[in-house]
Amino acid sequence: MESEMLKLQRQVEHLEAALAAISQTKERRTVRRGVGIAMLVCAATAIISVAIPLASGASPNFQGEKMGPLNVTAPFIVVDNKGQRLFAVTANPSGGGGNAILFNAAGQPAAEFIATAGGNGQIKVNEGGATRISLGISTTGDAGNIVVSSDTTKAQTILHGDRGIQVGNGDGQLAVEVLPTQDGNGQIKINRGGATRIQLGISKVGDAGNIVLSSNTTKAQTILHGDVGVRQTNAQGNPVFQAGADDTNNGYAMVANGGGTFLSKISVATDGSSGRVEVSAGGEVKALMGIKLNGKGDVCANGEKGTLCLSTINPTY
């Protein structure tokens, strides 16, 4: 307090010296004297304004000292000299806290800083009064969330801290999804009309890469699996074709009827020396074509009375 009083005393002394100098200079023009006096009056007013809080024991803002608390009651609006809105502070209608709004030259909200009802922060960047970018905390999982919206359609790109990336089309339906699975793997979905048509990810069988191509109108699918191979289902969702590598690392292909029962198989002998064809019915192999150990081909048929092969009909063959 004493240092502030000393400063005030020095300022008063300077003021008195300036007044004495003016009274001793008679040759100055009247106009200049009037301006000088006016400036000194302003200075005196400023000093008095400092002296009043000193007398009351308050601390003015000298040398960066903090001012006392200053409260402004919302809502309030800041305007320019033409009455144009520049800035406004309102209470969130949902009871979350305060909203701060910056206006553009057209008087439309250009940016908004919001305290939500959930106690989180949110930032909106607008164009023409409509939100184009929204940054905040998602109501799903309390993860960070960024929404980038189209200027002309319902299209949106959403970045979610837990759910990944979602891209919506002009009709507001999900077109592309890039997301983590519950197993911690990555997955990409390409959709049409809100339904997935192409899915790329990691299979739960063997942790191999997996691609699923789905029909637009039925349950038909083509599945490409890193270990199993290719699998095709029909319109009812039943498997009708499968090809890939078997347990002996040889290739094979199987076909099934509409009900999903596999009836024919093309494969390779276990030692990889020759090919073989199997025809089944009722869960049993009814016909088999392959190569014998002597290198000659053979065809065998199974029936109620046993197995009959060409090699047994003509032993000299």
Closest-CA residue to 108 (of 80, 89, 127, 83) = 127
> 287 pLDDT exceeds 50?
yes
Average pLDDT, the chain: 83
| 14, 46 contact by CB (below 8 A) | no
Give the confidence band of 117 by pLDDT, cuts at 50, 70, 90.
confident
Give the confidence band of 21 by pLDDT, cuts at 50, 70, 90.
low
Res 227: pLDDT: 92
Which range, of 35-39, 120-124, 253-257, averages the lowest pLDDT? Answer: 35-39
The two structure tokens encoding residue 11:
């300022």
Give the mean model confidence (pLDDT) for residues 194-206: 92
Q: Where are the beta strands (DSSP E) in 20-138?
A: 76-79, 85-91, 98-103, 109-115, 121-127, 130-137
What type of residue is 152?
Answer: T
What would the pLDDT profile of 260-280 be if each residue is shown by its tens digit? 999 999 999 988 889 999 999
- The residue with greater pLDDT, 208 or 55, is 208
What would the pLDDT profile of 136-150 be if each residue is shown by its tens digit? 998 878 899 999 999
Give the confidence band of 43 by pLDDT, cuts at 50, 70, 90.
very low
> 282 pLDDT exceeds 50?
yes
Q: At what angle do helices 30-55 and 2-24 cross, to 10 degrees?
A: 160
Give the mean model confidence (pLDDT) for residues 11-30: 51
Give the confidence band of 179 by pLDDT, cuts at 50, 70, 90.
very high
Strand partners, 290: 298
> 31 pLDDT exceeds 60?
no
What would the pLDDT profile of 54-112 be if each residue is shown by its tens digit? 444 444 454 555 555 678 888 999 999 999 999 999 987 777 689 999 999 999 999 99
Q: Where are the beta strands (DSSP E) in 128-180?
A: 130-137, 144-149, 156-160, 164-168, 174-180
Which residue has tokens 């919001």?
Answer: 114
> 181 pLDDT exceeds 50?
yes
Closest-CA residue to 168 (of 156, 160, 177) = 156
Q: At 61, is the secondary structure helix, strand, or coil?
A: coil
Res 187: pLDDT: 96
Q: Give whole-number Cα distances, 254 to 159, 203, 275, 279, in Å.
A: 43, 21, 14, 10
Give the mean model confidence (pLDDT) for residues 228-254: 96
Distance CA 222, CA 2 (A): 89
Closest-CA residue to 163 (of 176, 180, 147) = 180
> 255 pLDDT exceeds 80?
yes
Give the confidence band of 29 by pLDDT, cuts at 50, 70, 90.
very low
* Contacts for 225 with CB less than 8 Å, ≥ 6 apart: 203, 205, 206, 208, 209, 210, 231, 244
Distance CA 93, CA 156 (A): 26
The two structure tokens encoding residue 63:
């040398």
Give the confidence band of 237 by pLDDT, cuts at 50, 70, 90.
very high
Res 205: pLDDT: 81
Which residue has tokens 């090809």?
Answer: 243
Res 270: pLDDT: 87
- Which backbone phi and psi does 187 adopt, to 5 degrees? -155, 140
What would the pLDDT profile of 214-223 be if each residue is shown by its tens digit? 999 999 999 9
Give the mean model confidence (pLDDT) for residues 284-292: 92
Which residue has tokens 């400063």?
Answer: 7
Which residue has tokens 């005030």?
Answer: 8
In the chain, what percentage of residues exceed pLDDT 90? 58
What would the pLDDT profile of 152-176 be if each residue is shown by its tens digit? 999 999 999 999 999 999 999 999 9
